[in-house]
Chains A and B, each alone.
Chain A
Amino acid sequence: MIQQKIIEKAKELLLKKEVDLVIGFSEWTLPLRTTPIFIRTPEGADSLIWNSLCENNLATYLHKFSRFKVGIVVKGCDARSVTALSFEKRFKPDQVFLIGVPCQRMVDRRKVKRAVKGEILRATEQGDQIMVQGNNFETVLKRNDFLYPSCQVCTHRTPVQANILIGDPVEEVPLVEIHPDVKEFEKKSPSDRWRFFEKESSRCIRCYACREVCPMCYCPECFVDSSSPKWIERGLSPEDLQFYHIVRAYHQTGRCSGCGACERACPMEIRLTYLTQKLNQDVKELFGFESGIDGDALPPLSTYNIEDRQEFIK
C-alpha cells in the first residue's frame, strides 16, 4: 500500500517534470537484499518497492546528482542526513524533493542468515513476519527479533522536513533506550574497552566501504588519501587502522544521523555504530543537539555558546 503510494508519487513528479530523477529502492536478485534504483521515466517508477529491507541511506547518492533536481525516497534517518547536508550547502534548497516514508525499522539480514541453517533462497515479508525458504527448510520468523541495533534505538522514524509524507506518522518510542553495543561497551574498564576496539579495528581491510556508503563522507580528498600532510600510512598496521576508525567516527561529530549504514556496509562485520552512537549521545548531552532534526540549529562544531561546559579545562 505504501509501496503503491510511492510509485504514484514518483510517477506524478516525473510526469510533471518537477524532478529529473527519482532515487528509490527496487527488488534485487539476492534474497533479503534490495538495491537503489535511479528512475528517469514515469514508466520506470513501477519497479519501486518498499519493505523492511530498504536499508541503504539514499542521501549518499545526492552528491552524484548535484546538477539535477532529485526526488528521493527517505526514511527518518535519511531525511536527517539530507537536512544535515543542506547545512553544509551540498545542494540548492529547492533541488531535492523528499518523499518521506515513516520507517517500520529495518531488518538485519545477517541476523536472519545466522538464525537459519542453510542458504536462504527466498524471503518474503508479511506483516510482522518474515518467511524464509531454502532448499529443504521453510521458517517463519518474527520481524521484531531481527532489527538493526541502530533501528532499535531510533526515535526519529518519521521523516522530519520531508516535502510529502507517505503514510501516517509513527509513534516515536525506542524499542531499547540505549544502543545495546554502547551499553555493553561502557560497562567495561578502560583497558578492556581499548582491547575491544583494538580487536574490532584489527579486522579492517581498509576497503573504505563505511566511508563510501556514508552520506556525510563526501570530502573530495579524505584524510586517508591525503599525501601532504600524510596522516596515515598505507598498509594494515594496527595503529593506522585504529587511527582511521577513530577519525572516521570523530569526523561525524554532530553530523551523524545514526542510520547505521557504515556498519551494514562493512564486509568484515566490524562494529562501528557504537562509536558514532556515543558521539551522538555526547553531542546531545553537551550541546543539546541532534543532527538533522531542527532545520535552523547550526551543527554544534560550527558554532559555540559562551556558556558551554568547561569543567575539564584547567
Chain B
Amino acid sequence: MFIGKMMKTSWEPKILAFLCNWCSYAGADLAGTSRIQYPPSIRVIRVPCSGRINPLFILKALQSGIDGVLVSGCHPGDCHYISGNYIGRRKSATLKRFLEYLGIEEGRVQFSWVSAAEGGKFSQIVEEVTQDIKKLGPSKRFVKKSFEFGAKSSE
C-alpha cells in the first residue's frame, strides 16, 4: 500500500520529443550548455527535419505507452531544407485535429518551433508540455498493454 502510494505521487510523465537536427536539437543543446534547468521528462529523438516525421511515429509512440509527444522544428522560413517544416506543418495540423476528433486528449501531442538560439524557449516549452501532460495524467487510451515499459510482453 505504501509502495502504491509512493508510485502514485512520484509519477513522472514520459514524453517523447522529436527534435529537428538543425534548430530544435541545437536549441536543446544550447539549453544544456547554458545550464538551463528543465524537467527530465523528455526522451529526445533527433530527426533530420520536422518534415521527416511520419505521423505513424507519433501514433506508435502513443501506442507504446508514451504519455505525450512533442514535435519541434525550425521556425517558418528557417528550414535547412527550405520547405520541410512547411510540409511538416500541414501534416501536424491534420493529424492533431484527427486525433482530437477521435478522442485522444488535447495536449497529448504538441508542436513547437525552436531555433538554435532559443535555449531558454526550449526549456520553457518542455516545462509547459510536462505541466500539460501531468494535468492529463498517464495515457490510457490507445496504449497497448503488453508494450508498456518494464512489463513483460504477453506474446
Contact = CB atoms under 8 A, between A and B. Distances in A.
A223 B83 contact: no
Nearest to B72: A314
Contacts of B55: 247, 250
A190 B98 contact: no
The bracket for how many chain A residues form the interface is 35 or more
A178 to B, nearest CB: 13
B102 A308 contact: no
Contacts of A195: 103
B152 to A, nearest CB: 16
Nearest to A311: B93
Given A197-B103, A223-B56, A314 B98 contact: no
A132 B143 CA distance: 47
Interface string A262-276: 000000000000010
Interface stretch (B4-12, B13-21, B108-116): B108-116
A287 B89 CA distance: 12
Contacts of A231: 56, 60
B97 to A, nearest CB: 5
Interface in B77-117: 77, 83, 86-87, 89-106, 110-113
A250 B128 CA distance: 28
A1 interface: no
A239 B142 contact: yes
Given A223-B56, A306-B76, A312-B93, A193 B102 contact: yes
A242 B99 CA distance: 12
A190 B55 CA distance: 21
A197 B89 contact: no
Contact of A300 (B63, B90, B99): B90
Interface string A226-261: 000001010001011011001101100110000000
A301 B146 CA distance: 34
**Dominant SS among interface residues on chain B:** helix
B59 interface: yes
Nearest to B71: A313
B25 to A, nearest CB: 17
A253 B94 contact: yes
B151 to A, nearest CB: 14
Contacts of A191: 103
Interface string A166-192: 000000000000000000011000111
Given A240-B144, A308-B90, A308-B93, A313 B103 contact: no
B94 A313 contact: no
Contacts of A196: 103
A197 B103 CA distance: 8
B133 interface: no
Given A249-B98, A306-B76, A312-B111, A287 B90 contact: yes
A243 B93 contact: no
B141 interface: yes
A190 B100 contact: yes
B142 A242 contact: yes
B110 A243 contact: no
Given A194-B102, A239-B144, A301 B60 contact: no
Given A193-B103, A313-B111, A313-B113, A308 B89 contact: yes
Identify the 9 closest CB pairs spanning chains A and B, nearest first: A194-B103, A193-B103, A304-B86, A314-B112, A239-B144, A313-B111, A190-B103, A194-B141, A253-B94
6 contacts: A190-B106, A197-B102, A243-B63, A286-B93, A306-B76, A308-B89
Given A192-B103, A250-B98, A313-B111, 14 more contacts: A233-B155, A239-B144, A246-B102, A247-B55, A250-B95, A278-B101, A282-B97, A283-B94, A306-B86, A308-B90, A310-B76, A312-B111, A314-B111, A314-B128
